[in-house]
Each structure stands twice: as structure tokens, then as C-alpha cells.
Structure 1
Amino acid sequence: MTTYNLEGKKIMKYTIRYSVPYDIYRYKMDAKDEEQLATFVKMLTYEKAYGIEVIPKYI
């Protein structure tokens, strides 16, 4: 979905849904060690990892 702000500039708005097992797998691939993986999993827990709305604005 593309919308425009008052100045007529494009703003892309979309929602990302997270799946906890997939995210843990993805972070496991990116983690350099077990401590970093634990940090990633804690981060997912704090963000409630089930649905985060992302609204990038292009100015």
C-alpha cells in the first residue's frame, strides 16, 4: 500500500508479522556466538515478536 503525505511525498506503509521459530533460526544463522544468540532471543521477547508495525517514511 502506497500513500502520500501532505507534501505529496510517497510514504510506504506495511506490516511485518514475526514467527518466533523462524526468527530464532534466522538469528542463529547471523549470530557469531551463543551469547549473541541469547541477546537476539531476549530482544525478540522484549519486542513481543508476534507483530510489529513498521512504517518507513521516504522524505
Structure 2
Amino acid sequence: MLRGPATADSFCIIDTDRTSSFTVRGSANEAPQERAAKRMRPDQLAATLQQLHALRPC
């Protein structure tokens, strides 16, 4: 999954399959090590984009 930076300090995710919810904090509240661990390497991004382009209908 590709996503941009969070635009809110925190947000709620509702899981309808499990009938539960949980709060996720935005990247502004994460430690630098936590943000770095989630960052996609350039080669991973290139491979993901290549796969997505292959799936896109012409």
C-alpha cells in the first residue's frame, strides 16, 4: 500500500469485520526511529510503482 503523510494528529479506524475500532497517531507524534522504520526504500518504491503500472488498464 502506498500512502502520503498523515494530515491529522490522530484518527480512528473502524474494523467492521471485527466490530471494533482503534486510534492511530499521525507521524508528527512518532519518534524519528519509528518514522524511519516505515519509510519505503527507493528501490522498493520503484518496484511497487512498476507493479501498479502493470496492473493499470490501458
Q: TM-score, normalised by structure 2?
A: 0.31
Q: TM-score, normalised by structure 1?
A: 0.30
Q: Which has the higher contact order (CA 8 A, sep 6+)?
A: 1
